[in-house]
Amino acid sequence: MNRTLTSYIYPAVEAASVAAECTAWEAPGEPVSFATALRNRFTPRSPGDAWGAPWGTTWLSIRADVPVEWRGRRTELIVELGFNDEMEGFQVEGIAYAESGEAVKALNPQSRWLPVEVGALDVAYIVEAASNPVLLPKVQDELVFAPTPLGDPATAGLRPQYVLGNSRLALVDEGARALIHDLEVLSELARSLPAESARRWEILVALEASLNVLDVHDVGATSRAARQALVAVLDQPAVGSAHILNAIGHAHIDSAWLWPLRETRRKVARTVANVLQLMDEDPDLLYAMSSAQQFAWLEEDHPDLFRRLSARFAEGRFLPVGGMWVESDVNMPSGESLVRQLVTGTRYFEEKFGDVAKVGWLPDSFGYSAALPQILKLAGYHRFITQKISWNTTNKFPHHTFWWEGIDGSRVLTHFPSADMYNSNVTVADVAHAASNFADKGWVNRSVLPFGFGDGGGGPTREMMERAARMRDLEGSARVEVSSPVKFFDQVEQEFADPQVWLGEMYLEFHRGIYTSQARTKCGNRRVEQLFREAELWATQARVRADQDYPFHALERLWQEVLVLQFHDVLPGTSIAWVHNEAEQTYARVESELVSIVESSLVALSGPGPGASIANASPFARSGVSGHSISTPVVRDGAVSAHSSDGLVILDNGVVRVAIAEDGTVVELTDLQRSRRVISNGDRGNLLRIYRDVPTKWDAWDIDAGYRATGLDVDSVVSARIEERGSRCAFVVDRAFGSSTASQEIVVTAGSAQVDFTTRVDWHERDRLLKVEFPLALSTERWAAETQFGHTYRTTHTNTSWDTAKFEACAHRWVHVGEPGYGVAVINDRTYGHSVRRVGSRDSGGIRTSVELSLVRGPRYPDPKADQGAHTFRYAVHVGADIEDAVRAGYEFTDSAREVSGGTPVPALAEFRGRGVVIDTVKMADDRSGDFIVRAYESLGARQEVQFSVSVDADAVYDVDLLENRICADLDLTQSLTFSPFQIRTFRVELSDAERNFEGG
């Protein structure tokens, strides 16, 4: 069968062909517009010509005359750019324009044709071809993760990447093409059925009959009869219990990855052009596209395609999904970042399309934080589709359709496509796997099948639609219905009364390096998240109290730039050098713009004149300055001493005592107030350890479990000294290891229960992981890690395979470990990767809990220079801390307290009295009404009664959703408010007319 297809029937589709003429112009450097390209001189090109520097763009003019005898028959222009058959996407691509400049269709390895109007005398297209280099080659079906200079334009060189093939005008035999789909579907179906199945034999007999009437030397004349022989088996309807696949056209286009952001803009345009072309031909096609940013790029770059897309939206065929600005990572972004992902994306969809059905859509992000269900729901997303957890290497997730419940008890109806993929080709094998793999059989019998080539592969194809049509109602196969995700969920809600519940995070048992790779990108993210909080806080204060314009436009633009960089291959550190270099530049620019918003707001607020006030951007009081307010600080009492004793350096402030050994590690940390040793018994804290870190695949993504066996202490000392700095005492030790150096600083501050550490590393290691560890004298089965608007627990032991698999996990600003009545928090300013383990035993030095922060790696793929150079990591150990202390210390460690010159005190705009409720965000309302917004959350995981107050004259205060729409009646602030555990509440404060004097800018 395969031989007959390959040798005779596939070639018969092109009944005849004539060569096309090709001329070209190679654009120097970055892409140019259609109009610019056409102003240049195109020169002749021939098959066999090498073309295309890495990341270059070549404009081709391709034309052919239609032979007289073909007029009135179907022809296609086949353009051979030099495609690699092995991969869809990840290589050369093109988009074809009519001579008028209108984008018509893309050229992709699996879709190399351009339409020719029946009856035309000739055909001509202008093709914008992108010679994107192959960075992830496939050899014998295996991906090859080899370091390559091609990911950075500075090192990519100029060597042509592709060779032009024989572009031609082809006369198409549609009968042969249809026969191929019949034969492929039936032969694959027969293969998928058990040998004893009668249906299998029925199909095999029909296939034999079909091939018997087909003359392989004259497919054109005999294909009709060959198809006729298959009609009966193709018409045999599916059995009543057949699984139903709600298939939806899709293309997973990574917003940046093995290509820069600018190329994604073009990938989106090419894919959408294909989709619209296919929609014109096939009325059954529905297409789901995520990422508002990708729509916005298209709107800007190709208004013609965007108009056509909007018309298809109006017909219910082109479906925006997801509602996020990009398909973000959802482990590392802050709570407010995830809010803005959803709000910014959803507002865009509402503005451009009106009423868009809300379905959460994150098929490819690397694990899903337990805070996400609540955030999704508060933005109006009650339904969620993902898939990535099928990549787990240890445990198989038990459900495909289930309630996913977050830390606060919010549930979203969640579905994993049981095909274990988001880019099916709608092969019989994919369909059969989706049906057999489905975990919730008996309760419900349908799943979603997203199909289409992603990442520049071109999206759904006519071949996929043909196969889907044949499997719509076919005995032996699941039923394939092209339909929308919304229809899928509507049906599931009717059919599945009581889905099982999965509580907490959906941890991806894979890709554990993503919390650490490209440390500078992560640092940029954490830093700007903190600055957004600060800039919006002070700009709101300045608007409300000093009538200063609120920088709506600037903040919106800056948020959009940062939201893009939270994409699930950028913030995780898994993109090429080009992407990360750009990200670092963007963060630096955003940071300086945010700082100037902060500074101008503070000048407006605190007024001129002398004074040494502090603007405290943390929601918690510090140095006597209340949270979110400006006033004069109270100088902290107490002193710190540093002295040497028995070969140890002792730093002591009466609250904590730190003993530092000659090797510069902390051999004793004592909480003097509670007379408790936190590090002792021969353990060493602040110990740097370096590990071999050579994952078998997916370098930047993975830390393989075996790394643990390869650790070496970094404890040799180059020099060491004590530095006394007013109310602080520091011990500084300089180290050298491998090709790198490190300087570690241990600081004790007067009156503080927190020991601060700064580790500066000049990192020149590859395939190495640097961690810092604190073996804490605490026995606990679990540890808490800060996540968005709350925290989540993981175990310190390895009882089950699920526990064992979480050997590296994400935390935001802090982790907390404790015994009843006593705990310790470890705080950080930019680190996400942590491992927390139970070590030792009662019989050998006692049980300890080792808290380890992963500081830096040096993966070589896809960026061979990842992480090289200087990094500064700050972290701290806070003794005698409960969760409340950890939350406060996390804000204090990262949020600025700025000195301001003016002397005018400024109270917080809003505050809660009582325990546990934290105001995370204060901002002006997006609708520019002059109202301001306060977003708060319960931070301890407990039910709280609190008193809410605002310090300005307000007409009304009420709850809103994340889109800032009212969801309750006016609140009576003389009454206390209730927060449930980890509840997020957003309040809108309407100012009285007296307060609302000016319109914002």
Residues engaged in binding Zn ion (CB under 5 A): 254, 364
Select 182 or 455, whichever has its Cβ closest to Zn ion.
Answer: 455
Task: Tell me the three state secondary structure of residue 735.
Answer: strand
- All residues at 6 or more sequence positions from 694 whose CB lies less than 8 Å from its CB, including other chains: 704, 767
d(CA 749, CA 726): 9
d(CA 939, CA 920): 10
Select 373 or 454, whichever has its Cβ closest to Zn ion.
Answer: 454
Q: How far is the CB of 572 from Zn ion (least distance, A)?
A: 10
Select 256 or 729, whichever has its Cβ closest to Zn ion.
Answer: 256
Give the Cβ contact number of residue 303 at 10 Å. 10
Q: Please name the helix (run of DSSP H) or strand (run of DSSP E) that holds residue 469, with its range, or none.
A: helix 462-470
Q: How far is the CB of 455 from Zn ion (least distance, A)?
A: 8
Select 254 or 408, whichever has its Cβ closest to Zn ion.
Answer: 254
Strands 318-320 and 917-924: unpaired
d(CA 651, CA 916): 33
Where do the H-state alpha helices sit in 743-854?
Answer: 801-805
Q: How far is the CB of 74 from Zn ion (least distance, A)?
A: 36
Displacement of CA 875 from its chain's centroid (Å):
26
Q: By the 8 A CB rule, do 383 and 412 touch?
A: yes
d(CA 870, CA 882): 34
The b-or-e profile of 540-549 (16+ CB within 10 A means b, else e) is bbbbbbbebe
- Comparing CA positions, the residue from 387, 13, 414 lying closest to residue 181 is 13
Select 252 or 622, whichever has its Cβ closest to Zn ion.
Answer: 252
Q: By the 8 A CB rule, do 824 and 753 touch?
A: no
Backbone angles phi, psi at 333, to 5 degrees: -60, 150
Q: How far is the CB of 421 from Zn ion (least distance, A)?
A: 12
Strands 103-107 and 93-97: antiparallel
Select 202 or 254, whichever has its Cβ closest to Zn ion.
Answer: 254
Of 182, 254, 329, 364, the catalytic one is: 364
Which one-letter amino acid corresponds to residue 491? Q
Select 277 or 365, whichever has its Cβ closest to Zn ion.
Answer: 365
Select 254 or 892, whichever has its Cβ closest to Zn ion.
Answer: 254
- 414 forms beta bridges with 384, 402
Q: How far is the CB of 507 from Zn ion (least distance, A)?
A: 18
Select 254 or 699, whichever has its Cβ closest to Zn ion.
Answer: 254
Q: How far is the CB of 321 from Zn ion (least distance, A)?
A: 15
Q: By the 8 A CB rule, do 172 and 75 touch?
A: yes
Q: How far is the CB of 519 from Zn ion (least distance, A)?
A: 22
Q: What is the dihedral of CA 453, 455, 458, 461, to 10 degrees?
A: 10
Q: How far is the CB of 404 from Zn ion (least distance, A)?
A: 20
Select 76 or 364, whichever has its Cβ closest to Zn ion.
Answer: 364
- Comparing CA positions, the residue from 534, 600, 596, 589 lying closest to residue 562 is 589
Backbone angles phi, psi at 812, to 5 degrees: -85, -115
Select 290 or 631, whichever has its Cβ closest to Zn ion.
Answer: 290
Question: Which runs of E-coded beta strand occur in 396-515?
Answer: 401-405, 411-415, 446-451, 479-482, 501-503
Look up tokens 């249809």; give the residue. 178
d(CA 761, CA 740): 7
- All residues at 6 or more sequence positions from 459 whose CB lies less than 8 Å from its CB, including other chains: 249, 250, 251, 271, 272, 274, 275, 278, 287, 452, 453
Select 364 or 699, whichever has its Cβ closest to Zn ion.
Answer: 364
Max alpha carbon distance in the chain (Å)? 101
Select 364 or 852, whichever has its Cβ closest to Zn ion.
Answer: 364
Q: How far is the CB of 230 from Zn ion (least distance, A)?
A: 38
Annotate 339-356 with DSSP letters as a single string: HHHHHHHHHHHHHHHSS-
* Sign of the CA dihedral with 479 first, then 485, 486, and 490 last: positive
What end-to-end distance do the CA atoms of the chain give, in Å?
70
d(CA 123, CA 20): 9
Radius of gyration of the CA atoms of the chain, in A? 31
Is 364 part of the annotated catalytic residue set? yes
Q: Which residue is nearest to Zn ion (CB)?
A: 364
Q: How far is the CB of 749 from Zn ion (least distance, A)?
A: 44
Structure tokens at 725: 């700095």
Determine what percent of the chain falls in helix, strand and coil, rounding each to the nearest 5: 25, 30, 40
d(CA 192, CA 471): 13
d(CA 688, CA 772): 4
What is the set of active-site residues? 364
